[in-house]
Structure 1
């Protein structure tokens, strides 16, 4: 292959990676593709990858979950053995972290007019430095022994969601999605209220005519956070007390198990402000409580107490206020000790079932049980069952 043809294939590769063009990658990569990434890259990314699917899923896919960055080629040189050497820089930032600017050298191999190999050299230290998280103020986020805790942290404002909270919830969602060690997540709030929804004082500060732009800026990152949480590959438990209102209900919907303290109130509240609503209420409410009750919550500004919320299907358990966090923590730790990959498949199956036909869902169940059956956890659990022992799950 001459230099021009090799450079064109390389250019197409970087273009496909930048745009997320999976079909383009499939056309470019040879079935016998082999990749090697720099040893010492964070998140265990360094090492060998066999085949296009593994490279796409385990290397480029995991990079995409942790970084918003792309490779910018600058120099191309055809080597004596027919391989192409490309020099350039990775530019962008880590999701939830800092900027990434790292030089790279790629050596591409070719076969049958396709790319059959990629050897990567880059500054792994720069990649690790970029992952250093930015400071959070309106939310707290920690992960300990595989258990994450997201705690809304505006107690004096009853955890009302302002622009900073929307932005930081999006950051935390990205951090959760990027972690391989997260096995369960607890979502709760500091103080007397889980969240009263959007911060009305922030709306009132908008100049005349600016409210639409304020609402768009706030809902965009918040809605993306909810989308990521809903698809997170780890179970979520929510613990709510005091009040759950407006768009803040979205943080209740993304949970698989929801606890509410006795006396907690639930309401949409949008029409009282002349607003149509956000926080995925229009998607989740008809599915959880039915269309008629969803209209009741919107139009009549119905306020539910905790027992009614449980009866309507908004929460799983109602517990005494003093027992709320103990019960929620017990649930999230039990989930963290369970078969994480199986939970991930179950989570996806149940949430996707609302938009799948029976035939589609049956096919998805087969694919999911095959994937979960291939995990180490499944193999050990079968052995433990036959030996009449309690299985120990490691989440993989």
Structure 2
């Protein structure tokens, strides 16, 4: 039997999802999509999980689509890529964005095409110093997908997004951090220790409140100021009714560390 294409480990409130086709730079196949969808669904259904960490096995995070998985013989009809996007890529991005907890991405090497846009769909991205990000779609005549045309302009602005998508230049991790594409660059050998430490920290924090922060940030991209003010009011009402808010206030007044439960 072949190795599983996606690994899922759960411990201390953290779910670690590892893309596991290292010999192919963790590029996507139909099989790996199915395995990742199953892992994301399992995490979403597990109330003990309070943070998700996503990374890749081997020397790369994810090189996007495995083109061999779409290859056809000369003269045969090319596959309808839109069907793949509708059936697999769009649900993947929606599942990551909809997780009711922080999602950390530890980019341990190249993140290309849909692999880069999967990373950008996460809440906090750490990258190894040797990592890089590439919008590789233009190299084969395609349009960026997996939310890239929505996410990247909001991270780096329309001018840089257009250049990255039309030229397909490689962006080293340090430049990605300078441009606001990611949260932080970490030395290669320290990447996973720092990512796991951050995930364990977030797993002890007020999970519902963090989920509401995610909701507010997502809505801010299209809301007017008045709409966003109303949303903040409504989300604050929900946050203020949680056990974690009550515990946070008690801990502050007692001058002790809070013991959040995620409820």
* TM-score bracket, shorter-length normalisation: over 0.9
TM-score, L = length of structure 1? 0.63
- What do you get for the CA RMSD once the two structures are aligned? 1.7
Given the superposition, is the C-alpha separation of residues 223 and 270 from structure 1 closer, same or farther in structure 2, using an over 3 Å criterion?
A: same
Correspondence for 2:217 among 333, 341, 350: 350
Contact kept in structure 2, 1:167 and 1:222, CA below 8 Å: no
Q: State the distance in 1 between where 2:178 and 2:142 align.
A: 27
Report the alpha carbon displacement of residue 365 of structure 1 after superposing the two structures with TM.
0.7
Q: Which structure would you say has the larger RCO, counting Cα contacts within 8 Å and 6 or more residues apart?
A: 2
Unmatched 5+ residue regions in structure 2?
Answer: none
The residue matched to 2:28 in structure 1 has which SS? Answer: coil
Structure number having the greater strand percentage: 1
Residue pairs, 1:148-227, within 5 angstroms: 148-205=15-72, 208-213=75-80, 216-217=83-84, 220-227=87-94
Report the alpha carbon displacement of residue 225 of structure 1 after superposing the two structures with TM.
1.7
Given the superposition, is the C-alpha separation of residues 204 and 290 from structure 1 closer, same or farther in structure 2, using an over 3 Å criterion?
A: same
Aligned to 1:309: 176
Report the alpha carbon displacement of residue 285 of structure 1 after superposing the two structures with TM.
1.0
Q: State the distance in 1 between where 2:73 and 2:256 align.
A: 62
Contact kept in structure 2, 1:239 and 1:328, CA below 8 Å: yes
Aligned to 1:125: none
Residue pairs, 1:36-55, within 5 angstroms: none
Does 1:247 pair with 2:114?
yes
Contact kept in structure 2, 1:169 and 1:222, CA below 8 Å: no
Correspondence for 1:234 among 79, 87, 101: 101
The residue matched to 1:355 in structure 2 has which SS? Answer: coil
Report the alpha carbon displacement of residue 374 of structure 1 after superposing the two structures with TM.
0.8
Contact kept in structure 2, 1:158 and 1:195, CA below 8 Å: yes
Q: State the distance in 1 between where 2:3 and 2:262 align.
A: 28
Report the alpha carbon displacement of residue 327 of structure 1 after superposing the two structures with TM.
0.6
Report the alpha carbon displacement of residue 214 of structure 1 after superposing the two structures with TM.
5.3
Structure number having the greater helix percentage: 2
Aligned to 1:386: 253
Report the alpha carbon displacement of residue 207 of structure 1 after superposing the two structures with TM.
6.4
Aligned to 2:123: 256
Aligned to 1:62: none
Residue pairs, 1:268-347, within 5 angstroms: 268-347=135-214
Report the alpha carbon displacement of residue 250 of structure 1 after superposing the two structures with TM.
2.5
Given the superposition, is the C-alpha separation of residues 206 and 153 from structure 1 closer, same or farther in structure 2, using an over 3 Å criterion?
A: farther
Q: State the distance in 2 between where 1:350 and 1:277 align.
A: 23
Structure with bigger gyration radius? 1
The residue matched to 2:61 in structure 1 has which SS? Answer: coil
The residue matched to 2:27 in structure 1 has which SS? Answer: coil
Unmatched 5+ residue regions in structure 1?
Answer: 1-134
Q: What is the number of residues matched between the two proteins?
A: 262
Structure 1: which 4+ aligned runs deviate by more than 6 Å? Answer: none
